[in-house]
Every structure is written in structure tokens, then in C-alpha cells.
Structure 1
């Protein structure tokens, strides 16, 4: 137990960039194929047949813009991979129309209406923000358009807010929690709390972690929800100190993360409890540096973990196109692109009802291995990872090394969808 304080620092540093938006990785340029990409103006796909229009909703200017960049890059490469580089399905060119929701639910609704009514897209894909994704589900229902969700992770999207038209290729926070809960309890600690932002993603994450920690034999003694625009976390951390849990699960997304982690350190929480979170993107690993070596945590995707031909292709093409490896949510974007093409090929059309039936139960090979979109709630089951950070030659950040790969079945979340 002597090293608990250092471990706490490590775990919080790991989530810093995973839950905090740093500078975007770069622009959303084309992938070198014949895809037409527009931003606010519908385009023509050329040829006699009209293009297949995919409306992409994501954050390009808000607090999750880094994730939006990863999403769009992955989507483009997934479409390229699934069409063997032609960007054509059924003899029709694929056109992406990308709109910026800035992780704002109201803006997301406005943008999705534009994509549906003005651009007349065939399919929708998005978004980085769970709040934005949940806000547009009624619009998707009304317009009867298929909406492929990735990377937004709130369980409600394919849970109590589920829709026959909404499918998710990304994981949800219940899958994260199932991956990490048994580890937490095995550490010998029993009493836990959640600290999370006070909006859909934070509440969903807290609910998921609470459920699986209880199932694993632990006890949840409370949740602390913090306004996402908070600039001083002192009162919330004081409540945590007063409660004296054995451990805390920290979930955060937003620009206040730097202040949050600084204040956690200043108030000595690291030495008083185990702090656990997910291992994030490459920026977070760089921020952690050598101090992260030896740390253990859960991971959604790191490019060196999956060993399969699809991931090998993704690494190679992403490096060629963007000069760096794929990141945390690139794999999810790619999975969405592959699923879209598979469903269109299976149905031979872009008819919404036909696509919905094709997506239900669809299994396909993606960058993490085998994905299966569960028919009951439209949630994709997929591999998840427990990793240890190690120092490796040639990397300027600690590298996630696999401890255990959990099967899609082992991390399958409860089915809480009652809509269909």
C-alpha cells in the first residue's frame, strides 16, 4: 500500500486527456479517395445515379473536438476499407456532409434537421457528445433515418432512450464498467463513490459503474455530480474526503479537467483512496510520461493491442494519410463506416426499414476484432482491454500492453431497451 499515492496520480493523469479536449489532431481533409465532403452545402456525387449521402454530426469546435476528429478520420477510412478504396456502393458514390454540433444539444438538433431536411441524407452518423446524441434521437425517430452512434457512450442511447432507428458501433459506459469493476474489487477495496459531470454522460457512467461494482461484491456509498463548466472543485472534493470511500471512479469530459486534477493533488486525495479511471488517448499518455509506467487500467482501443488484418490496414492507412497512428476513437469511426457499407450491400438499397433489419444482429470484422450489433437493443458487443503501461523504445509516451482481452460476451451490458 506504500505506493498508493503514486498510483492515484497515475490514474488521474491517464484520464486527463481521455476526458479533456486538447488541440485537435488536424483537419478533416479527404482520404485521397473520390469522396465528396461538404460542410453546410449538399454536393453531387457525379455519374447518373445520385450519391449515397451520409450526414455526419460531430464536434468540430467545442470541448470534444479532438474526439470528433478521431471519429471522422475513422469513418472515412472505414468506408474506404469496406469499399476496397472505391468509395462506391451499389454503383453510387458515397458523399459525407459534416456538420459541427460543438457538443451542444440544441445545436445538434438544428444541424441534424438541416442534414435531414435540406441535405436529404440517407444515413446519419455521430457524435462525440452523449448529450448531443440523445437530443437528436427524437428527430431521427420523426424522420425515420438510421443513426449510427459512435463514440458517444451514454447507456441511454441504446438503453431507455433506444429507438428502432438508432444503432451503436461504439461501446457504452456499462461495457467500460464491466471491464473494470472486478479489478477494483480484487484490489481489496469495498466502498466506492463516483465523481462525474452533471449531464447525461456522467449520470450514465455513474449508474453503470455502481451496478457492476455492486454485482462484483463492492458497495457504492454515493455519487458526486459536478457542473461540467465548474472552475473550482474544492467543495465537491471536500465531500469526497468527508465520505472516506476506499476508492473513487472518476469520469470527466470537459475543459475543467486540468483544474480538477490539480485540486485533487493539492487536497491529498491520492494518498487517501484509490482513484480509478480509463486509460485514454495518445495525448493523455504523453501527458502522463514516465510516471505512468506500471499503471493498470481499462482501455477501449490502442492501436498496438488488436492483432488482426483490419487493424493492420487501419494503422498503415492512417499513418499514410495523417502521419500518425490511429487513436482512441478512430477504431469506432472505422467500425461505423464498415457497418454502413455492410448493411447497404446486404439490402441492396438505402431504404431505412431495410437497413434497420440488416443492422440488427449484424456481425462484421473491424479493427478490434469481431463486432456484433445486438438485435435486442442495437448495442455493438466488442472486445475490451485491461492493460499495463510500459516504457518502450521508440515511443515518447508509456505504451499500453495487454494484460487481458475481455470477449464481447464478457462485457455485454444489460439490455434495458423496451422500445422494440
Structure 2
């Protein structure tokens, strides 16, 4: 399969839903023409329906938008702008899980019942684990999105991931934080699958290297973070590893600043999405950032293609853009080898697949479907009055590769 170049600025995307074009009587302007939520789905001889379940609304909606934009760009790239593989149209059917696992499971059951053999998406780790269970029960291919919980890797033979996982985040921090042996580390995060996954990863990576690891986990619905900031100070750690996502990010960082946490202890965290760059306040230059992705992190043709495509569509390359883009590449590759309905053939095609993504060289590890990929270290610098990420180092994929799940 030939992978194409970015769509030139001003050129409209071709629709991947021929039925939708005929019904509307106009040229669709999106890579994938998605029907209204709740409409009928199913595949015919010339169309493969892919059920994309993601956060269109809810606390992770901004991440969901970046994922969707990247997915549309990735499918366009992988199909040379046609939305087709060997004459078969790939139709992305988007639905909103709002970050709710029960709702996502209902959407998955509807899609599977309508004949879809491929599912993709979700930002929430808790939702991804529930969708992985549905994939196994119904023997369909599932390519999870930005959900980072390590438990997604190796959960079953039907589940793959298109983004990084928590272990890779923590291993990146460990690669430039110096010798962890003898240090006391506190993980500060939300009490959900993402936060708990980070605690487990820090214990595995830094704890395994000799650090003592403790945690301060905050209820997901909390809005006042001062008491938790005080608990960090009371623990008197050498390092605080912050794992946070969602619309309370700014309030959390403000609480840490107000309680003088940065004056007392070194803090590291993952670089968030573009909207969060201004959320660190006076602590911006005091934080060491591990980075999954930012627009200028990688210098390669695929990243250039994605950035150009998004800019032409009025969007911006963001934290989870590559997760969507890679999902588009994986979907196209699976359909090319398995036709969209032979699940075993699609699984075999993805296992061990090596390809170039926006971040660089990627490998789908055959043993457990981990996505082996480079990571980045970054700082935020002032550029024209705006905090802007600056690359410090690219961390080799092998350096941060998680151990094979189950071994």
C-alpha cells in the first residue's frame, strides 16, 4: 500500500462514505462522512464501517477532538486521499462516549450488532478497558486511542493501541531524571484508571530502580486541591511525578503553586495539550516535561504531512493528533490485508508491523500489541509572550519500551 502526501492547502477532502454523498447530493468536505449518532450502520461489499467511539463531549472532549482530527488526517494519508483501499471505501462512524464506560459499551454493542468488525477510539483508560472486553467477547478488532493505561496492552488478542502507554511516560522521565535509587517519589494524580496506572508504572520503573514510591490520589470530581498539595509537602519527597488530565488541570497547578510545592521539591509531569501550556503559571520554567508529542517534536515527512493537513483544515497539531493519525494508518493496513471483515487476517497484519508515523519509526509488538515508539523531553519557553515547547531530547523507542505484558 502506498502512503500519500499531505493534502495541499485549500483542497477539499474526499468523502469515505459513498452512500452519504449520494444521499446528500453534494461533495462531502470531510475525510470520513459520519452519520448522525444512532443511525443505522453496517458494511456492504464496497464499504467497511469502522465504529469510532471517542469523547466528543465531557471532560476529555478537547483530547477527543485532537484524536478525531488526527484520525481523519491519518486515513487520508494512508489512502492517498481517496478514503479507499483496493476499491473498498473505509467509512468512519463517529459516536460520543462522553468518557462514560457504560455508554461506550452500549455504542459498541450497537455497532457490532450492525455488522462492524473494527472499533477504534476512546480517550479514557476506563472506557478502553471496557471496549477491549467487548472486542474479545465479540471477536472484533479494536484499536484503542489515547487511553494510556498499561492494562490495555496485552489484554487480549483483539486489542491494539495507537498511542503511548503510561510505562513509556514514566520511563521517559526516568531517562533524564538521574539515578532514582534512594529517592522518595510521590505520584500526584487523579483516583481513576489513568492515575492508578501511573502509580503502578512509577512503582515498576522508578521503584524497580531503587526509589521509594508513594502516592497522593485525588477524587476525580474534586475541585479544591489545597489539602492534597499539603499532603505532598507533608510527605517531603525528593520528586513529585504529576499525572493529570482534563479540565481541572489549571486549578490543580494553581494549588501547587499557591502551596509553594515547587519551592520545596522537584516536579516532573507530562507535557499536555496546547491549551494547557499556559496553565502552569509561575511554575512553567520549574517543571521538567516528558512529552508524548508536540507539533515540532519530530522532524520527518509523516509529521510534516500531518501538520500540513491539519493546518489546511484550520486545526493544529496537538498532543493526541498522532494517536488518531496512527489509528488511521493501522485501520488502512488492516483493511488492506483483511478486507475489513476477516478479523484474524487483520490481527495478523498488525502484529509485528513496522511503519513510519508522525513521531518516527513505530512497531506494533507482536507478543502483546504494545506500540513501540520514541518519546521526547521538552521545556516550555517564552516565545512572543506565549509558552512554547522546545525539544530537549528524543528518547529512543527501545529505551522506553515496556516489558512484554504477562512476562
Which bracket does the TM-score occupy, shorter chain normalised? 0.7 to 0.9
1:401 aligned to which of 366, 371, 390? 390
> Which structure's relative contact order is higher, taking Cα pairs within 8 Å and 6+ residues apart?
1
Matched, 1:312 2:307: no
Aligned-residue CA RMSD in angstroms?
2.4
- Higher mean alpha-carbon deviation, 125-134 vs 239-248, is at 239-248
Matched, 1:37 2:34: yes
State how far apart, in whole Å, the 1-side matches of 2:245 and 2:281 are.
Answer: 21
- 1:308-347 equivalent positions in 2, closer than 5 A: 308-322=300-314, 324-347=315-338
State how far apart, in whole Å, the 2-side matches of 1:362 and 1:164 are.
Answer: 15
Task: For residue 363 of structure 2, give the secondary structure of its aligned residue in structure 1.
Answer: strand
- Partners of 1:185 and 1:213 within 8 A in 2: no
State how far apart, in whole Å, the 2-side matches of 1:231 and 1:158 are.
Answer: 31
Matched, 1:201 2:194: yes
Q: By how many angstroms is 1:392 displaced?
A: 3.8
Give the length in aligned residue pairs. 381
**Cα deviation per residue 1:169-194 (whole Å; 9 max; x = unaligned)?**
21000000000013233599821111
1:375 aligned to which of 366, 370, 374? 366
State how far apart, in whole Å, the 2-side matches of 1:285 and 1:188 are.
Answer: 31
- 1:21-420 equivalent positions in 2, closer than 5 A: 32=29, 35-38=32-35, 39-42=37-40, 49-118=45-114, 120-159=115-154, 162-186=155-179, 190-220=183-213, 222-288=214-280, 292=284, 296-322=288-314, 324-392=315-383, 397-417=386-406
Q: By how many angstroms is 1:287 displaced?
A: 3.9
- Partners of 1:58 and 1:100 within 8 A in 2: yes
Question: Normalising to structure 1: TM-score of the pair?
Answer: 0.84
Q: By how many angstroms is 1:305 displaced?
A: 1.7
Q: By how many angstroms is 1:121 displaced?
A: 1.5
- Partners of 1:293 and 1:391 within 8 A in 2: no
Question: Normalising to structure 2: TM-score of the pair?
Answer: 0.87
Task: For residue 255 of structure 1, give the secondary structure of its aligned residue in structure 2.
Answer: coil
Specify whether residues 35 and 230 from structure 1 end up closer, same or farther in structure 2 by C-alpha distance, changes over 3 A only: closer
Q: Which runs of 5+ in 2 are unaligned?
A: 1-13, 16-27
State how far apart, in whole Å, the 2-side matches of 1:191 and 1:293 are.
Answer: 23
Task: For residue 62 of structure 2, give the secondary structure of its aligned residue in structure 1.
Answer: helix
State how far apart, in whole Å, the 1-side matches of 2:191 and 2:292 are.
Answer: 23
- Partners of 2:254 and 2:280 within 8 A in 1: no
Q: By how many angstroms is 1:295 displaced?
A: 5.2
State how far apart, in whole Å, the 2-side matches of 1:224 and 1:34 are.
Answer: 43
Q: By how many angstroms is 1:115 displaced?
A: 1.4
**Cα deviation per residue 1:71-114 (whole Å; 9 max; x = unaligned)?**
11111111110000000113121111111111111111111111
Q: Which runs of 5+ in 1 are unaligned?
A: 1-28
Specify whether residues 233 and 112 from structure 1 end up closer, same or farther in structure 2 by C-alpha distance, changes over 3 A only: same
Task: For residue 121 of structure 1, give the secondary structure of its aligned residue in structure 2.
Answer: coil
